[in-house]
């Protein structure tokens, strides 16, 4: 396609675009406010333990669709996502050595249909860890069950995990999901169970696991891989434990915490007033949500342990239809992940589960949910493309402050030089409904940038994250590619009816501009 010459500032000014007076300055070299070099596997995933056999399959029936989707990200980024298996159901699970099925559970349907509250696990569960080549995992152990059954579950499953995750399949360790909600969510701990009690219990159980590891897979300890994601606090509503006090209580005293792990959701799926436009497609709301972690991370910096989000997604309660499963939520996912990356959150695990409304994909066919790639996945793909190959420790990212709820920009630097820009236009544009004051044609926002005249930046290639509107749940593409299951089981397939291959020439004055339709994103590659 023919490159579009940038409109000159005067034309834009005459067209009423105030930005023309005030182009967004771009630093051609890494600015001071950029992140540290990004860590490997920045975009990672978390899968609900109960749903893991659906996502991964087993040795006789591996789930190759999930594998293809995960590999797409690995191929773009130079390293595969790390897969954490956990969530609420890890603390509801008891081991039964005689059970033939991987998992069996009893639901409490008046509370949720999404997962059972009581689960038994058989040895075949561990087959699911062996279906995807070249992936590494974190298995979530049960901290909550503090009785003999809980004790036996640890004693019997540690050796099985050692065997299933031999070699490079083991990433890190974890015990306990959101223990800061144990007192408020189903009375799972007495009132006297405070941060120090939690820390003592966590230490005693991780010491027990270490003894079991010494017997079953001592090489893990020898190779320095007996390291945890902890404390996995929800830090949301109902939280009764303070993370600083947990560390004051001795949580890190065995020096076995690799990452301070906290969870994050922007809000809840049934919280009154939560909307796509105001809650998710709102940069300010994302900034507020992540900034809580930045404050916490600053308080804990004396520990010298990197801070990550080991479980995150849009709305807790497994998401809401019409919000978390829409293209608007995919755009939110891009903004959320890039803002995290730019501000020092070292890794984000996007949480998944069968039938979950916020899931990036549905791994199996179910009565009410079609097996397939869902809108949020396109956000994961976009983030991977923005970050590029991060396996060489030479990529940094900076948030460009546009002082707007609805427009955001990020600049990526590779080996100190400007390499890519990510842009999001987050104004809601519905295409299925035309309820109120929505313009007849989809409006654009013009972003005008300026690099220094001597920067050598001459030409820019564009990839777009696109759909018919923020309410689209299908027909989504990144750079003209679809990853839909129906096409090639999740492998990328080029769509011939989507515009791609755009390029922009940079003016002599260092100015260039790009139009983004409302509710869309773009990645600009600097040549």
Question: Mind telling me the catalytic residues?
Answer: 195, 311
Question: With binding defined as CB under 6 A, does residue 5 bind ligand NAG?
Answer: no
Residue closer to ligand NAG by CB (options 392, 459) is 392
Question: With binding defined as CB under 6 A, does residue 440 bind ligand NAG?
Answer: yes
Pick one of 370, 444, 453, 527: the residue that binds ligand NAG (CB under 6 A). 444
Residues 6+ away with beta carbon under 8 Å from 491: 68, 72, 483
- Rounded (10°) angle between helices 283-299 and 327-343: 30
Stretch that binds ligand NAG, among 68-76, 228-236, 303-311, 394-402 (CB under 6 A): 394-402
Residues 6+ away with beta carbon under 8 Å from 23: 9, 448, 449, 450, 511
Name the minimum Å distance from CB 166 to ligand NAG: 20
Question: With binding defined as CB under 6 A, does residue 120 bind ligand NAG?
Answer: yes
Closest CA to 425 of 377, 368, 466: 466
Question: With binding defined as CB under 6 A, does residue 405 bind ligand NAG?
Answer: yes
Pick one of 438, 452, 461, 509: the residue that binds ligand NAG (CB under 6 A). 438
Pick one of 110, 148, 295, 365: the residue that binds ligand NAG (CB under 6 A). 110
SS3 content of the chain, % helix, strand, coil (to 5): 30, 25, 45
Residue closer to ligand NAG by CB (options 211, 401) is 401
Stretch that binds ligand NAG, among 65-73, 163-171, 243-251, 391-399 (CB under 6 A): 391-399
- Binding residues with ligand NAG: total (CB under 6 A): 55
Pick one of 5, 113, 214, 299: the residue that binds ligand NAG (CB under 6 A). 113
Question: With binding defined as CB under 6 A, does residue 332 bind ligand NAG?
Answer: no
Instruction: Say how many Å lie between the first and final Cα of the chain, rounded.
Output: 16
Residues 6+ away with beta carbon under 8 Å from 505: 3, 4, 5, 6, 458, 459, 460, 512
**Residue nearest ligand NAG (C-beta atom):** 278
491 and 72 Cβ atoms separated by less than 8 Å: yes
Question: With binding defined as CB under 6 A, does residue 78 bind ligand NAG?
Answer: no
- Beta strands (DSSP E) in 363-488 are 372-373, 395-400, 407-414, 417-425, 444-450, 459-466, 477-478, 481-482
**DSSP letters along 128-141, please?**
GGGSSTT-EEEEEE
Residues between 13 and 72 that touch ligand NAG (CB under 6 A): 25, 27, 31, 33, 57-58, 60-61
118-121 and 43-48 strand pairing: unpaired
Question: With binding defined as CB under 6 A, does residue 495 bind ligand NAG?
Answer: yes
Closest CA to 107 of 124, 87, 89: 89
- Per DSSP, the chain holds a count of helices (H) and strands (E) of 11, 26
Name the minimum Å distance from CB 131 to ligand NAG: 10
Residue with tokens 């639901």: 107
Q: Is 18 left (phi over 0), alpha (psi -120 to 50) or beta?
A: alpha
Question: With binding defined as CB under 6 A, does residue 436 bind ligand NAG?
Answer: yes
Which residues contact ligand NAG by CB under 6 A?
25, 27, 31, 33, 57-58, 60-61, 101-102, 104-106, 108, 110-111, 113, 118-120, 124, 146, 189-190, 193, 278, 282, 284-285, 288, 367-368, 392-393, 398-401, 405, 428, 430, 433-436, 438, 440-441, 443-444, 471, 475, 495, 497, 515
């Amino acid at each position: 396609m023919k490159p579009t010459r940038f409109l000159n500032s005067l034309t834009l000014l005459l067209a009423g675009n105030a930005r023309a007076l005030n182009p967004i300055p771009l630093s051609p070299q890494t600015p001071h406010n950029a992140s540290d070099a990004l860590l490997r596997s920045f975009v990672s995933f978390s899968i609900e333990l109960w749903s893991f056999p659906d996502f991964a399959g087993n040795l006789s029936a591996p789930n190759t669709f999930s594998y293809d989707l995960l590999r797409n990200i690995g191929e773009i980024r130079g390293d595969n996502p790390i897969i954490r298996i956990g969530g609420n159901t890890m603390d509801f699970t008891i081991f039964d050595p005689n059970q033939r099925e991987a998992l069996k559970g009893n639901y409490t349907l008046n509370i949720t249909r999404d997962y059972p509250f009581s689960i038994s696990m058989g040895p075949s569960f561990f087959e699911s860890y062996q279906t995807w080549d070249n992936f590494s995992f974190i298995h979530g152990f049960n901290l909550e069950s503090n009785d003999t059954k809980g004790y036996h579950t640890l004693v019997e499953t540690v050796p099985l995990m050692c065997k299933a995750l031999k070699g490079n399949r083991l990433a890190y360790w974890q015990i306990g999901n959101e223990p800061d909600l144990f007192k408020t969510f189903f009375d799972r701990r007495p009132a006297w169970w405070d941060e120090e009690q939690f820390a003592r219990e966590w230490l005693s159980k991780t010491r027990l696991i270490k003894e079991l590891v010494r017997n079953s897979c001592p090489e893990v300890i020898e190779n320095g891989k007996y390291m945890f994601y902890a404390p996995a606090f929800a830090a949301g509503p109902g939280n009764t434990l303070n993370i600083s006090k947990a560390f004051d209580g001795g949580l890190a005293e065995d020096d076995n915490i690799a990452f301070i792990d906290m969870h994050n959701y922007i809000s809840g799926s049934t919280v009154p007033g939560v909307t796509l436009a105001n809650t998710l497609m709102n940069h300010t709301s994302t900034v507020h949500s992540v900034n809580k972690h930045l404050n916490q991370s600053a308080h804990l910096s004396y520990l010298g342990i990197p801070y990550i989000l080991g479980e995150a997604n849009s709305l807790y309660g497994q998401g809401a239809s019409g919000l978390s499963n829409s293209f608007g939520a995919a755009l939110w996912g891009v903004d959320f992940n890039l803002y995290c990356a730019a501000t020092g959150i070292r890794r984000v695990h996007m949480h998944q589960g069968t039938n979950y409304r916020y899931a990036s994909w549905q791994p199996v066919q179910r009565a009410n949910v079609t097996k397939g790639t869902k809108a949020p996945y396109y956000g994961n793909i976009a983030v991977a493309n923005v970050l590029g190959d991060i396996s060489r420790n030479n990529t940094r990212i900076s948030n460009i402050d546009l002082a707007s709820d609805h427009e955001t920009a990020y600049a990526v630097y590779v080996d100190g030089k400007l390499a890519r820009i990510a842009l999001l236009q987050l104004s809601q544009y519905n295409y299925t409904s035309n309820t109120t004051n929505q313009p007849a044609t989809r409006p654009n926002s013009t972003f005008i940038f300026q690099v220094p005249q001597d920067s050598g930046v001459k030409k820019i290639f564009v990839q777009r994250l696109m759909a018919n509107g923020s309410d689209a749940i299908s027909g989504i593409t990144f750079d003209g590619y679809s990853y839909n299951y129906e096409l090639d089981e999740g492998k990328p397939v080029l769509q011939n009816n989507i515009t791609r291959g755009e390029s922009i020439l940079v003016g002599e004055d260092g100015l260039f501009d790009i139009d983004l339709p409302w509710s869309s994103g773009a990645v600009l590659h600097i040549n």
